[in-house]
């Protein structure tokens, strides 16, 4: 696959953590990762627990700083090096291009579920009413009853919080979406909804990278696997 077709690609991406509070201990996690994803494609990261799949996702989102190598993505039609983007440029890339559904919702005190989902849409310039309508539609599709929409999700169950998180991630229609265990605490009916959302995002030309421990879900959504190996085995 040529790079020019990709929505996101990495070149020799490497990451280790240096723990200064533990005498400068260095923990290598990723080395020489060359990953490329095309628009309309869903790539599932595979590999044993602790291999660095979540670390790779966080690097791709700019949440962890890459130590070696580069991350590129297509942002508003042009290739942009995420690893060279400053904080403001990274925020801009996240606003328009790059979405991330983490395993856990980071709850904002006192903000209701509907507004949490509508917020990224408003940030990209949607009218608040249209953003809330879209948020409502997604929350209902994910079987979150209307009576919960205006409540802050702090008191919601794990599964309900994850569905709010998913609605927030899928609402804007990002061209690039990172999914970290999107179905981990969902029942079969909601898993099917998520599989449907992923399918529609691919249809719309989004590139997706996901970690799916649920093999059944993975087999239904992933076009291919990308193996992340523990670093001592990777050499």
Partner 1 sequence: MSAPLLEAKGLNLAFGAVRALDDVAIDIHPGEVVAIVGESGSGKSSLLRVLAGQMRPDAGTVLYRDPAGTAHPVHGMGEAALRRLMRTDWGFVHQNARDGLRMGVSAGGNVGERLMAIGARHYGGIREEATEWLKRVEIDPARIDHLPRTFSGGMQQRLQIARTLVTRPRLVFMDEPTGGLDVSVQARLLDLIRALVADLGIAVLLVTHDIAAARLLAHRILVMRRGQVVEHGLTDRVLDDPQHPYTQLLVASVLAA
Q: Which is nearer to partner 1, 74 or 94 (CB)?
A: 94
Minimum distance from CB of 18 to partner 1 (Å)? Answer: 8
**What is the sign, positive or negative, of the torsion defined by CA atoms of 62, 67, 73, 76?**
positive
Size of interface with partner 1, in residues (CB under 8 A): 20
Of the candidates 20, 26, 77, 147, which one interacts with partner 1 according to CB under 8 A? Answer: 20
Of the candidates 28, 39, 68, 90, which one interacts with partner 1 according to CB under 8 A? Answer: 90
DSSP the chain: --GGG-SEEEEEEEEEEEEGGGTTEEEEEEEEE--EE-TT-EEEEE--TTSSHHHHHHHHHTSS--SEEEEEEEETTEEEEGGG--HHHHHHHHHHTEEEE-SS--PPTT--HHHHHHHHHHHTT--HHHHHHHHHHHHHHTT--GGGTTS-GGGS-HHHHHHHHHHHHHTT--SEEEEESTTTT--HHHHHHHHHHHHHHHHTT-EEEEE---HHHHHHH-SEEEE---HHHH-
Of the candidates 91, 124, 150, 213, which one interacts with partner 1 according to CB under 8 A? Answer: 91
Binding mask 46-75 for partner 1 (x = CB under 8 A): ------------x---xxxx----------
- Residue 169 binding partner 1, by CB under 8 A: no
Minimum distance from CB of 148 to partner 1 (Å)? Answer: 20
Of the candidates 77, 78, 88, 232, which one interacts with partner 1 according to CB under 8 A? Answer: 88
Minimum distance from CB of 143 to partner 1 (Å)? Answer: 28
Of the candidates 1, 25, 84, 108, which one interacts with partner 1 according to CB under 8 A? Answer: 108
Of the candidates 4, 49, 109, 125, which one interacts with partner 1 according to CB under 8 A? Answer: 109
Q: How many CB atoms lie within 10 A of CB 187?
A: 10
- Residue 110 binding partner 1, by CB under 8 A: yes
- Residue 78 binding partner 1, by CB under 8 A: no
Binding site for partner 1 (CB under 8 A): 17-21, 58, 62-65, 86-91, 108-111
């Amino acid at each position: 696959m040529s790079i020019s077709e990709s929505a996101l690609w990495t070149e020799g991406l490497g990451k280790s953590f240096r723990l200064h509070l533990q005498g400068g201990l260095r923990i290598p996690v990723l080395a020489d990762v060359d990953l490329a994803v095309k628009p309309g494609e869903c790539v599932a990261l595979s590999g044993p627990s602790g291999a660095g799949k979540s670390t790779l996702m966080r690097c791709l989102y700019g949440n962890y700083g890459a130590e070696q190598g580069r991350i590129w993505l297509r942002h508003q039609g042009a290739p942009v090096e995420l690893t060279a983007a400053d904080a403001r440029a990274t925020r801009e890339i996240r606003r328009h291009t790059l979405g991330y559904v983490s395993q856990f919702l980071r709850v904002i005190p006192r903000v209701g579920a509907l507004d949490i989902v509508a917020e990224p849409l408003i940030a990209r310039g949607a009218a608040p009413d249209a953003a809330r309508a879209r948020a409502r539609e997604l929350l209902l599709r994910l079987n979150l009853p209307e009576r919960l929409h205006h409540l802050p999700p702090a008191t919601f169950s794990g599964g309900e919080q994850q569905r709010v998180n998913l609605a927030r991630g899928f609402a804007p229609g990002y061209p690039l979406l990172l999914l970290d265990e999107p179905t981990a605490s969902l029942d079969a009916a909601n898993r099917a909804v998520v599989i449907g959302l992923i399918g529609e995002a691919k249809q719309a030309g989004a590139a997706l990278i996901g970690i799916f421990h649920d093999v059944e879900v993975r087999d239904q959504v992933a076009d291919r696997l990308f193996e992340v190996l523990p670093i001592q085995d990777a050499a």
